[in-house]
Amino acid sequence: METLITLIAAAVTMRTLYPVNHPRVASAVMQMIVALHDVLERRRIDSLTFLIVGDDLVVENQILRKSNLSQRQFVQLLERRAIERLTLAAGLGEEEAHALLTALAVGQPIENSAHVIFGRVRVTFDGDSKDHRDRQDLDPDQLNVAREAFRRFRKDRSVSIVEMEKLVWGFIDSLSRSTRSVLPLSKLKDHDEYTFVHSVNVSLLVLGQARSFGIEGPMLHSFGLAALLHDIGKLMVPVAVLNHPGKLEGEQWSIMQSHAEQGAWYLSEIENSPPMSVLVAYEHHLRYDCKPAYPILRTPRQPSLVSRMTSIADAYDAMSTVRPYQQPLLRSAAIEILKKRADSFYDPLLVANFIQLLPPAQP
């Protein structure tokens, strides 16, 4: 059963990253179908029903605790599409399997078929829905306090980790009151200091990713704080370099690259600075495939989970934001770039999950 769930989640990941006719999608579909038929044959049943009951996944009257990442991802996939029941029957073919994956991966209309039955599917609300009314804006006072901390750091190299921690707890509280997985961040774009605004956005995007995998409590807070401080080293980079209108080269590029190491060194010297924040400041530009990036490592290694989440959020927000040297990309264009760089720069599982978390594009 765990193998089947893992293969369904993997197939949805492939469909999120690649078109329906891609060889990786076809391979994932076949593995999923074979695994389903194997489970049905072993259990001597004609169909298999998955139910979402509260926070639990129930399969054929058996509660499966969310003990692994794939299972948690599978539950999240159903919840995001408001599916409380999914039945897969013997005889499931490739065409039906592709339709199922497309519905789960890219949000196409969900329809029952001969061997795939969805239960209690709720209609998605529009912009005037309860979802919209329930959304809570971030506390402006919290933002102002943290923004002032960033300014003080730029001026006299002092920053209060306590102030940053309070801000992240506020983020978590706002997220918990919202029915969306990732909060819309457009109002935060009104601020004029790019590094701070970008850091806030990345923190929120990482919190959304972490929550989707069941990370909670102090660990969730550590993820959010590390993401908030990921670019702290950029506050040591001259403004002229940060806002340079064009491609950085030579010494300017070397200065910009140094922000990862400088940020990690700075945080490591602060009393009670969380180790995870130091790690993310150092790792957030490392590649998933371990190929050369910056900082240059003596021994190539894959970055940590929180750093991999941060790198995706970092890239997405940077591509989506007005900057002195570039206009923002459309969401669809930014997503396509993330897809193309999955398996090289970014973790493909996390890219697929991130894409599924983003709210639907407005018409």
Q: Is 245 helix (H, G, I), strand (E, B) or coil?
A: coil
In the chain, what are the helix, strand and coil shares in percent, each to the nearest 5?
60, 5, 35
Amino acid 31: pLDDT: 96
DSSP state of 57: E
Supply 217's token pair. Answer: 């409590």
Amino acid 363: pLDDT: 41
Q: Which helix (H) or strand (E) holds 89?
A: strand 85-89
Do residues 115 and 90 touch, judged by C-beta distance below 8 A?
yes
Q: What are phi and psi of 26, to 5 degrees?
A: -60, -45
Amino acid 82: pLDDT: 79
Residue ranges of the chain whose pLDDT lies below 70: 55, 65-67, 120-142, 159, 174-193, 322-328, 359-363
Q: Which helix (H) or strand (E) holds 105?
A: helix 94-106
Q: Which residues contact 84 (CB under 8 A, 6 or more apart)?
A: 51, 52, 78, 119, 120, 121
Q: Which residues contact 56 (CB under 8 A, 6 or more apart)?
A: 63, 64, 65, 66
Amino acid 27: pLDDT: 95
β-pair type (56-59, 85-89): unpaired
Task: Please state whether the predicted TM-score (pTM) of the whole model is above 0.85.
Answer: no
Which domains, from first to last, does the chain contain? 2-119 (no CATH), 130-357 (1.10.3210.10)
Do residues 24 and 14 touch, judged by C-beta distance below 8 A?
yes
Helix axes 194-212, 69-80, angle to 10 degrees: 100
Do residues 79 and 356 touch, judged by C-beta distance below 8 A?
no
Q: Is 249 helix (H, G, I), strand (E, B) or coil?
A: coil
Which H, E and C letters describe 272-293, residue by residue? CCCHHHHHHHHHCCCCCCCCCC
pLDDT single digits (tens) 122-172? 333 334 444 433 444 566 666 777 777 787 777 777 767 877 887 788 777
Among 303, 361, 291, residue whose Cα is nearest residue 330: 361
Q: Helix H segments across 192-347?
A: 194-212, 217-228, 239-242, 250-257, 259-268, 275-283, 305-320, 331-341
Among 152, 150, 264, 159, residue whose Cα is nearest residue 200: 150
Amino acid 71: pLDDT: 79
Pseudo-torsion of CA 323, 326, 330, 333, nearest 10°?
Answer: -130
Amino acid 177: pLDDT: 58
Amino acid 195: pLDDT: 80
